[in-house]
Every structure is written in structure tokens, then in C-alpha cells.
Structure 1
């Protein structure tokens, strides 16, 4: 799917759940890599991340470098995720991309092959995931504008989205008043937090997604993933493309059928979901 957007690519991948929390984070934007003190600043920030994790009560397993500015930390922690993520993100330049027992979000500048190669994603083993390639049209080319989005501060929930929410600012203010913060100006992040807030209140994923069709205005198709589920929703106009294939042991969705056929060389049946359709698969 990389032809749909060369500016950035991202993956939300789900490995087998672990007792350890996995935190993916960046300590700088790649556009800053020419700064004269870039390497020294990142090393100081990395040490500060480890220090703050320990201070808040986490038992750090390891913090490893994934690229010049991206890192993966594993640790044990029994407290709430929001204070931990807020404390870590208070380090200048730090952005938490994902946090959970199975979710790992990897995203960076460049096309899908470039990002997958940089982070050695061919070696990843898991159960399900979603990906996104982006052509920047309304915001800067940076990691903050890349999909997928973690539903901060809820564990193991991520979203990708094609379209535009016309009541974005209304929902952002409402969610911010509830104590949520956002990493970007992208409307897709609103969908992630909207759904996760309802899941945390005890609503099923299917019910939360159906409610979103009444609350969120605009033209959109989105995918949401949790530790054990995958869901898709289309607005009442169904103008944004999505092709679906359901097999005996898998489900595959993409903006174009060519992406599904690239991984399933045999003859397949596929179809476009209808207007206001919500579908959820669980494992």
C-alpha cells in the first residue's frame, strides 16, 4: 500500500500478551537529527527515561534503541498508565507512541518498506495488526502526524482512519475536559481515545463503534484494534474505500484489493462493507 503515501508509515502490531509492559517511544523528531548536540541530548534523555520509570515504581527490564531517536522499553508496573506516561513525556522531546502488554506501535518518516526495514519488522511474530501510509495534506511531515494512534492512556488500543471529522474540535475539547491529552492535531487520534474511554467504562467494542457513528460527524472509515479484537466502521456515506476478505482462519482489510491479493495469491472473494456498517472480529 506504500503508493498511497510516501511521507510516513506506521504499524500497530500485537504480539502474544506478556506480563511485562512494552513502551515504544521517541526522544526527538527525525527532522532535528542535524542538530549539533543530537546524539548527546538523546543519550541524556534515554537515561532520564530509565530513571523516571524507576522513580514511579516500575521495575525496568531493558531499554533498547530501535533507531537514532526511537526506543523500546520493557518493564513491570502495577500502577495506572496515565501518571507513568505523563511523567515520561514530561522529558523534553519525548513522545510515547504506545504502551501495553501486547501492543507495539512503530511509525516513522518514509514509505512502508523503509520503516519496516529500519525496525526489522520482518522478525516480528504476533496475532494481528493494522498499518497505515500517509501523504501529508493538512499537517507537517513528522512522526506526530503519522498513524496509527495509541488511545492514550488506555492499554493496547490503536486506530487508523481515512477521512475527516467535521466536529473534531468539539470532541477534542470534550475529551480534554475529561483529562485526556493528545499528541497531534490529527482527528484520527480523537477516534482512538473516544472508543477507549467507552471500553474502559464497560461498553463492548461493537457498541462503542456503533455509538461513534452517531457522535462523530464527517466522512470516514476507520479500523480499531485491541489486544484480542479487530473492528471496522464506515460512516453513513461510505465514501472512503475499504475492501474486506474473510477466510476460515483470518480476516484481511485494506483500502485497495491489491493489498490483500499481495499476501493471498489464491483466488479470493472480497467485498466493500455498506454504509453505517460496523464489524468486529475477536480471537
Structure 2
């Protein structure tokens, strides 16, 4: 069994919630898992407890609240009472308090004027912060698929989260990267408090990888490093994050990602890549 490495979080977005991936993760030194109240058709927490209730105490566990079941659909809400109730139900379904609860994609409900959006965000943040203070979770954070609206809403009146999770990697896009970095700066977060997600843009089979070899962004020597491994390793620098939530039901794939952590990024090539992303965005805006 390998020593624990906090840089990888096993994401359970599309997971089958099988015990073998949990035990394999522990053997590989991955002792953090991330799920959500709404994953697995709102049954993720009970499925996770059913697959490994006896080993859940060995994991650092994060989850998210913000999406709720409605008649024939899923709806998003920042209502503080609904958020508190979701955290309470998460405790019951998991059989334990999560180590971290993320406010899930708050931008989905931040319409209207900036002042109204700031008030709504602040009220929601205060709700999950209060849940942490009551012992319903160890800490709280924000998980945002599109953080672009958020930096402009953050001021000294908002509670400071323990962590922020954003999209990371070569496919995140320059505007998302800049917004993520601006948000981290607004709250004065260190890299360990900034988490990445979706390092492959949703799939390791993206056609882009047939045209771009991500190994150009890894320092030499990188013999034996696959394109998938390189893509994953580079994601830690786009933006600069301390850990990445990544999903798989295949222990061998998880092992490959753990092995990729031995390599380091090429800062010069990544700087060039970011410049090209900015130039492309500027051309498209003309």
C-alpha cells in the first residue's frame, strides 16, 4: 500500500459506486473522495454508504449541495433552509459528517443585479458556513463549473471558504482560468485550497488529443508517459491547484494517474499555451 497523497481526489460523478474502486484507491494512496447530493439520481450518498460504510472513515469525504429534485426535473436553489436540510440529509445517508461541503455551482442562481446576486451568494455561503460550525461538516467551500460571474461578487462581507473547486486543464478555456485565479486571489486562497475538476474536459477520448500531444507541456525526460497521464499532470497548472478530483471505475486507470504525479510541467510551454489561448479569444471577439 502506498503512502497517502492528497493531490488526487476520487470523483464519483459518473461512478458505479463499487467497493473495489474504493479499496483500490486506498491501496494506491488515494484517501479522498468527492461526491454530491444530486449524483446518482440523488442516491449517491446511500450508494456510497452501501458500497463501503465500514471503510468510509478512512477517507476524507467531500460532497456538494445546491441541486434538488423537482417534479420531472432537477432544480437549483441557494435557499438557505434547503441547503441546510440537504447537509443534514447527507449526514444521515452517509452515516457520518462530510469533511467538506461545497456550495454546488452557485452561479446557476445568481441572476439579476450585482447587489442582489451578492446578497444571495452571501446568504448561501453563510448557510453552509453555519452547518460547518454546528458540526454537520468539517468545513465548506464553493464548487463552480463557470466561475466567471463570481470574482466580481466577492467582497469583505462574504464568508471565506475553506476550498474552491473549478474546472482545470487544457480544455478549461482562458476565461475560466482567469476567473478561477481571480476568485482564489479575492479570498486569498493558497494552491492547496484550490481544487481542480474535469481535467480531461469530460472524456479521455477527446479528438483534440489526436492533434495535440500534451507531453510537450511536461519537462523532459518523460519516456513512458502517456498522453492521458500528461493531460492529467498538466491540469495542476491550469490554473494552479493543489488537488484534482478525477473520476474512474477502473483501478488501473487510477494507478496511471497516481504514477503521473512523478512528472513536472514545463512552465515556458504552458506560458506560451496561455498566450495562444488569449490571442485566440481576442481574435474571436473582434
TM score, norm. by length of structure 2: 0.28
Structure with the larger helix share? 2
Q: Identify which of structures 1 and 2 has the higher relative contact order when contacts are C-alpha pairs closer than 8 Å and 6+ apart.
A: 1
TM score, norm. by length of structure 1: 0.28
